[in-house]
Amino acid sequence: MTEEVPLVPGLESPSARALERFAIRTRESSVTRSAWRLSVTSAEGEGAIVVLELSSGETLYRGEGVFLGWPQERLEPAYRALLPRSDEPTFEIGQLG
């Protein structure tokens, strides 16, 4: 008998509903930036993970709903696990000449 490994530890049956791009402002900057918001539903309820990529190369994660209070170290793998996968092959341009 094998134990099923959860997709996201702490959530039962999580699934992504929508991945949206939207404008966001932070307290540290007067610049409007773009962020990704991954809406999720699970047996525990609904929530979202917001991802903001800064120009310094740093990535910030913020949890809403069931993800509220989760640390960055827990939000990042949850976001990556729930991110919708594309069935389309990746587009590559071959080098010519």
Domains in the chain: boundaries:
15-82
Provide long-range contacts, Cβ within 8 A and 24+ apart, for 55-59. none
Dist. CA 17–CA 91, nearest whole Å = 25
**Weakest-pLDDT range from 29-33, 34-38, 84-88:** 84-88
Threshold 0.85, pTM exceeds: no
Lowest mean pLDDT among 1-10, 30-39, 61-70, 80-89: 1-10
